[in-house]
Structure 1
Amino acid sequence: MILRNEGVSLDYYQQNTDYESRSLDGTKENSIFPKDSSIRIWYNELNVDYPTHWHNALEIIVPIENYYDIDVDGEPHRVMPGDIFFIPPRKSHALHAPKSGQRYVCLFDIDFFSNVRGYSGLITMLKDCIHITPDTFAPVYNEVYDLFSQIWNEYFQKTEFYEFSIYSHLFQIMTILSRFNLNRMQLFTDSTPVKRREYFDRLNNAIDYIDENYANDITLDDAAAFSGFSKFHFSRLFKEYMNCTFYDYLIGRRIKATEILLTRDDLSITDIALQAGFSSISTFNRTFKLKKGCTPGEYRTLFSGGLGKEKGDVSEKA
């Protein structure tokens, strides 16, 4: 199908002719990107549903005509035409299409973003879905939507260096959304520009410190001392900046590490718990179930294509 998007002819099918069928390992979807690429964009007009699945990519869905229903971790979302919906990597989700309609489905590998300073703040922003509407994100909506339009044009025209261009637009989008969130925080609205910059740098230094040392026995005192703030001041600033306490972030960082390790079959659950910084297997099991709603063993079975119990898996006994 060839359509015109703002005066530009776009061939929506030619770019994805390499695709044959979905590849599922349990509920994990594999091989979603073209060969030697880390981007896949569909102009989707199918009236079919996609059962619960997950993948390592960031998925962004933008309905063009008619709504689209999305369940993420069992929570339903109705996304209307013009809305922009972010599904974080490794989030379990299902898609439900109306009888007719069109939407863009964009898939990006963003794991390499972890090498960029400020990544922790981005991942914190992406820990949950982001539902952008013209009303809720009014100050930045038009700019963000325009950047997505440029991404679609680049992808379906397949111009020279189109992946570089697409990722540059995606970085812009993430920057806009991150700054939009910062501007809504009291911490940054009540301070001078110089003080805001100082707070931003010192907090990000502390987050980098936590990210590099989460597997060690670090404490609130350690992080506060590293940031140069008093313990009390650091706790208040950190919670406002990250929307969680230091200990919540530390535990979340450890849990995130175990989610990735649990998809491997060469490590026991005990080894994974200790590698991620948990002091005991019982603490890990209790914390994991509280945060994820299932035991590490159940998670491994669900997200690793049904590997089942491994040696050292004592999650059901602790």
Structure 2
Amino acid sequence: MDGRVYYEPLVDGVERLPTELQMFHGAPLIMRAAHWHAQVEINFIVRGWAHYKMSGHEATFSQGDLALFWGGQPHWLDEGSEDLVYAGGHLPLVHFFRLRLPSDVQAKLMKGATLVTHATDASDPINFARWNAYARSGDSIKASLAVDELLLRIERIRFSPYSLLPELRAVEDNGGLDHHTSPIVVRICEYIAENFREEIDSIDIAVAADIHPKYAMTVFKKSTGMTLNDYVNLMRLSYAQAMLMRDDASVLTIAMDSGFGSLSAFNKSFRKVAGTSPSDFRRDVRGRPVAAITARDLAHRAAL
């Protein structure tokens, strides 16, 4: 043993707060295994370096690097410098869908790519520290400002040089990634990311992953802690919330565009998650800080 304290992911490797914004700033613990969370992860390396194993590629982020990747695929912080300090957050899908990124970049992120830029400056360490403090302050206005400023910072990446990984090199198997089930989960996530706004079910997903529907449901639940239906529904509702926050389209149009087959199904699902109707959500979210409404942890409803 090397004497280090390690981060132990949950038994199934899943973070269970998909609708909650989580900010962090400090020295991370090296993970013993991969984990998974239904949010986009932002990493800014304040000091030192960090090495990640993703599904299908690996990446090393050094001081000053800003990275963005979809946490919905297994990833593993397996090594880092002794002086490593990083900042960032787990960004709920509703905020990810608000981002004005190039469409191809957003699609590639949802399918497992990692975006990294070295074009950062002296203001980034200060800003990430402030956003972390604001998000944890308990003040809904400060939390809302943290979200909005973070989104603007991410959107500015498009105006500077950036890279999209993976690189063409294999990931060594040290026992942290399940190389039998992980590729299946990756294929499932890719298919859902591309098609959640269409009428799809577990059979369609299983066919796309080239496995039996029951096996698809079992593997996905075991690997992610979510059922296929819960995951598809989370994608659709997050997309709908983002549309309600930024667009003036009718609720019916948003329901159809988000993948719901009817307005009644949309209203029922939305109310179950948000505790209010889509119309009331739109009115409230435009009248008070965004984070006060969308950062609630609603995951317990599905016993994730």
Q: What TM-score do you get using the length of structure 2 for normalisation?
A: 0.48
Bigger-Rg structure (1/2): 1
Q: What TM-score do you get using the length of structure 1 for normalisation?
A: 0.46
